[in-house]
Structure 1
Amino acid sequence: MKVNAYKELIIAMVRTGILGFGGGPSVIPLIRHEAVSRYKWIEDDEFGEILAIANALPGPIATKMAAYLGYREKGALGAIVGVLAHILPTCLSMVVLLTVVNVLSYSAAVAGMIAAVMPVIAVMLGLMAYEFAAKAVKGLGKILGCILFIVTFLLLQTIALHPAFVIVIFLAYGTMHFKLKNKWKNKNSKSKGLSV
């Protein structure tokens, strides 16, 4: 464990809190960059698992991720530091900017800045979704990966099932996937052995 773990945690969470424009989904790629690429606290696979579990739990995803990363690095105090470092800059900014929000809300410059940031967030989310999809296809295979993508789309868009239920369903499936796969392989190898 590095001596500067608290410093790194504070810098990473302040950076994600300030640059995470637009709420939870826009912060996820930033947190992933800090935790996986920059500081290498966790591997990409573990980040995907944490993200899935955080999505299944109630509350803001960014604070859950900050709490987990802080806890993983420095225990309970690290979790508190991570959450505070993530939310305090934004809270303080809101208090300061509240006095001028009426003026800024009618400004064409502010509306232009918001419009310019939206495509950046969309690209970041798209890139992260592509990377997770590539890992899913690698682990599940192209056919099963596509089938599960279609099932997920139908559950979310056609049936309009709450995303938390979809995540729980796929977490349950994920726990059984490799057991079923090994059982299928063993069954096939036994049947081939008998036919020879």
Structure 2
Amino acid sequence: MFSKIKENVFLELFIAFFKIGLFTIGGGYAMLPMLRKEVVEKYKWASDEEMMDYFAIGQSTPGIIAINTATFIGYKKKGVLGGIFATLGVVFPSWIIIIGIALFYNQFASNPYVESAFTGIRVVVIVLILNAVIRMGKKAIKNWYSLLIFIIAFVFVAFINVSAIYVILAAGILGIVINSIKEGERNDS
């Protein structure tokens, strides 16, 4: 019986994304290390590059990035039903936690221990996000023009407050233009 359960890809999708959803404190970026461990290393459902693509698409489409990414990966593995199982897996822990918090919020919101715990958790979330950015950056920045796009995008989003949607669209167009020029140069040689 357990071998059948173990071989059930739908159950694997649900459990893998349930774990990711359960321990994703701090939003979608904080899930990157766990997502990589489960999806790329453990189950090999996607490569690092594919995962970055799914994450980028999930970031630029409407909705919650964790849900979008889970849906894309589940769909890739097992179609619509796989997308549903992965999505339910990543959502279910949050749903349980939110209901629990809603039930008991007034009883522990002003507790100094709870406040201190959240202060500590916030710091760890920043570390997780920074770690994910460094790992993804090593994979994504492969040449001078991808470094240039990174710097320009960072400046526009972080300092000029341009909407990330416009920056993503502009970066995509710039990437297409640069690659088209490079392809033209290769064909001319």
Is the pair's TM-score, using the shorter chain for normalization, greater than 0.5?
yes
Q: How does 1:32-47 map to 2 (within 5 A)?
A: 32-47=36-51
| 2:152 maps to amino acid | V
CA contact (8 A) 1:13 1:86 kept: yes
| 1:30 maps to amino acid | M
CA contact (8 A) 1:55 1:164 kept: no
How far the C-alpha of 1:99 sits from its partner, in A, is 2.1
Alignment CA distance shift 1:64-1:137 (3 Å): closer
CA contact (8 A) 1:16 1:86 kept: yes
2:76 alignment counterpart: 72
1:18 alignment counterpart: 22
Larger Cα Rg: Structure 1 or Structure 2?
Answer: 1
The separation in 2 between residues aligned to 1:172 and 1:19, in whole angstroms, is 35
1:128 alignment counterpart: 132
The separation in 2 between residues aligned to 1:181 and 1:123, in whole angstroms, is 37
Q: Which runs of 5+ in 2 are unaligned?
A: 1-5
The separation in 1 between residues aligned to 2:9 and 2:102, in whole angstroms, is 34
How far the C-alpha of 1:67 sits from its partner, in A, is 0.9
The separation in 1 between residues aligned to 2:96 and 2:159, in whole angstroms, is 41
CA contact (8 A) 2:54 2:73 kept: no
Q: How does 1:76-115 map to 2 (within 5 A)?
A: 76-115=80-119
1:52 alignment counterpart: 56
- The worse-fitting range, judged by mean Cα deviation, of 97-106 and 9-18 is 97-106
CA contact (8 A) 1:17 1:86 kept: yes
Aligned pairs, number? 184
The separation in 2 between residues aligned to 1:54 and 1:128, in whole angstroms, is 16
1:177 alignment counterpart: 178
TM-score between both structures, scaled by the size of structure 1: 0.84
| 2:26 maps to amino acid | G
Q: Which runs of 5+ in 1 are unaligned?
A: 190-196
CA contact (8 A) 1:68 1:79 kept: yes
Alignment CA distance shift 1:145-1:79 (3 Å): closer
How far the C-alpha of 1:24 sits from its partner, in A, is 2.1
